[in-house]
């Protein structure tokens, strides 16, 4: 090795582990089953009615948290807690239901 040349971590890794032992796979056979085609967009906002004060409130929803979600969020108008249930369909559209937390 010449002076001033430092091998990179990546090149050290590639020399240490032969191709058949690396964790990278080029097997694309099952990708279509795991990730069906779509436009890549999912709903990230919803307008709901507060079950306490009756006001319309726009909330952010996160498709990255899974196709079925349940969590608690407070109304930004009256500060009462809701139980929020979010369900995403295959097209990325969400069904959002809010109910009083004490139900």
pLDDT tens-digit series, residues 31-40: 455 545 455 6
pLDDT per residue as tens digits for the range 62-76 = 888 889 999 999 999
Q: What are phi and psi of 88, to 5 degrees?
A: -100, 140
User: Mean pLDDT across the stretch 80-90?
Assistant: 93
Please indicate, yes or no, whether the overall pTM of this predicted structure exceeds 0.75: no
CB 44 within 8 Å of CB 66: no
Q: Across residues 69-95, what is the average pLDDT?
A: 93
pLDDT reading at 11 higher than 50: no
pLDDT in the model for residue 33? 55
Residue 103 and residue 83 in contact, taking contact as beta carbons nearer than 8 Å:
yes
* Separation between Cα atoms, residue 94 and residue 46, nearest integer Å: 8
């Amino acid at each position: 090795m010449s002076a001033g040349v430092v091998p990179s971590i990546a090149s050290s890794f590639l020399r240490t582990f032969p191709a058949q032992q690396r964790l990278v796979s080029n097997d694309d056979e099952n990708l279509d089953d795991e990730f069906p085609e779509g436009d890549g967009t999912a709903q990230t906002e919803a307008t709901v009615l507060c079950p306490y004060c009756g006001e319309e409130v726009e909330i952010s929803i996160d498709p990255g948290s899974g196709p079925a979600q349940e969590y608690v969020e407070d109304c930004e108008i009256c500060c009462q807690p809701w139980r929020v249930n979010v369900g995403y369909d295959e097209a990325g559209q969400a069904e959002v239901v809010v109910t009083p937390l004490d139900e």
